[in-house]
A and B are shown apart, each in its own frame.
Chain A
Amino acid sequence: MTVRVVLPRLLADCTGGRTSMSLDLPEDGTVRALLDALAAEHPVFDRRVRDETGALRRHVNVYVDGEEVRRLAGLVTPVPAGAEVMVVQSVAGG
């Protein structure tokens, strides 16, 4: 299945300049599987959004079709076919 991924402009230098892309995932894909797929191509991007334990960084949010995954099932939140997954930095800092 194919999903659409929207990435933060601030990390474009880690994704070859791309801020959106389509990804092929297995039918039972999850947010973790999607991030793993991105990590295979863009390892520095992965370290920006997940720490070495695999946890999403505190001030990075992931939305699946508009729903923030921490309010769903976290990294095992299912990603349905045709979904739009947005990775975005939260409001933080000063």
Chain B
Amino acid sequence: MATTLLAIGTRKGLWLATSEDRRDWSLSAPHFLMTEVPSIGIDTRDRRRRLMVGVRSEHFGPTVLHSDDLGQTWDEPAGGAIGFPDDTGAAVERIWQLQPDSADRSGVVWAGCEPISVWRSDDGGESFALCRGLWDHPHRSEWGAGYGGAAAHSVVPGPEGTVHVAMSTGGVYRTRDGGASWQPRNSGISAYFLPGPAPEFGQCVHKIARDAADPRRLYAQNHHGVYRSDDDGDSWTSIADGLPSDFGFAMLADPRRGGRIWVVPLVADGERIPPGGELAVHRSDDAGATWRRLATGLPTHEYNAVLRDAAAVDAGDPVGVYVGTRRGEVYASADEGESFRTVASHLPDVLCVRAAVLP
């Protein structure tokens, strides 16, 4: 079997794990020690092995680096891969998302950042241009900051120039022209923390994912609420029935099979721990109609959260599922979540995991 790479971004560095069978893992020494790594992209398109990371030092700010040799060496453009144009008067605080586009747009990589902004690279993540349509959006002054900061934290490219982003707070926005213009798409998503009926925008959507079989079908883990859209985000309906809680941060979609998704529930906004103090993922194989709790190999005494990007899937067959906790534990499943094994323990808080079967 091919090698699988699991990249683990934490509050104090990056660890790389590799495995030939996704059961026994070799863990690297830390990269970027004492620097937080909130975003990772693994680009295997055109048989690349490019690893991109958005790192951030509390002292020395954020930057994007990439490696084409699995972390043996890192490249950082002298002028920086990402930076606001002078006229904006803004500065990047944190890179929340590095997302390769689809295989047919091989050089395109998207970034989502704090302050709320979306960026596009056409050179594989070596330089990014600000999507002015979203930056200059008339809603900007009304977007807010979630607890983690005001960020576009999820970028989900789709076919034919469609991209969905999720921001906290602001909710879901969609472009159909490659990022030139953006419209809010939050109909049906609650915003219990705002008075009155749910607004057109302003929701705190924690994570979105796109269905593998139907690109117009999307899933969302909201700040209370789990939803599905069957019409490209135009409307959302609840799929939270059957889950122990509708709160959580992660939302994963199977890259191979339509209708299969995973969430990692937490009790509530005011109680951000796994229900019953037992970590579990919940999987649906029917687009959220029914759910099954999966916890084999996961800790039965766990009072730490799984953050929005600290869960990932690979594209292996069967699909691998990965979760990392704020306790610094990372678990891997080689069988679509049926059972997990511990990959790493006692790391700093896990902020981001990404995994890919290497070409």
A residues with a Cβ closer than 8 A to B are: 10-11, 43-44, 47-49, 51-53, 55, 57, 59-60, 89-90, 92-93
Contacts and interface: CB of A to CB of B under 8 A. Distances in A.
A49 B60 CA distance: 6
A93 B83 CA distance: 24
Where chain B touches its partner, the secondary structure class is loop
Contacts of A90: 59
15 contacts: A47-B79, A47-B80, A48-B57, A51-B92, A52-B91, A53-B86, A53-B91, A57-B60, A57-B61, A60-B59, A60-B60, A89-B59, A90-B59, A92-B59, A93-B34
Nearest to A93: B58
A43 B61 contact: no
A27 B33 CA distance: 40
Ranked nearest first, the 10 interchain pairs of A and B with the lowest CB-CB distance are: A51-B91, A48-B60, A52-B83, A89-B59, A43-B78, A93-B58, A59-B59, A92-B58, A53-B91, A52-B91
Interface of B: 34, 57-61, 63, 76, 78-80, 83-84, 86, 89-92
A17 to B, nearest CB: 17
B88 to A, nearest CB: 9
Given A47-B80, A48-B59, A51-B61, 5 more contacts: A43-B79, A48-B61, A49-B60, A53-B89, A92-B59
Contacts of B60: 10-11, 48-49, 57, 60, 89
Given A44-B78, A51-B91, A57 B63 contact: no
Contact of A44 (B59, B76, B89): B76
Contact of B91 (A43, A49, A55, A59): A55
Contacts, number: 47
A64 B167 CA distance: 42
Contacts of B59: 10, 48, 57, 59-60, 89-90, 92-93
Contact of B63 (A47, A49, A92): A47
A47 B63 CA distance: 9
Nearest to A89: B59
Contacts of A92: 58-59
A24 to B, nearest CB: 22
A92 B36 CA distance: 14
Q: Which of A11, A49, A52, A89 has the most CB of B within 10 A?
A: A52
Q: In this complex, which of B34, B61, B76, B79 has the most chain A Cβ atoms within 10 angstroms of its Cβ?
A: B61
Nearest to A42: B78
A8 B89 CA distance: 27
A49 B63 CA distance: 12
A92 B59 CA distance: 7
Nearest to B91: A51
A17 B336 CA distance: 47
Most buried by A among B58, B83, B86: B58
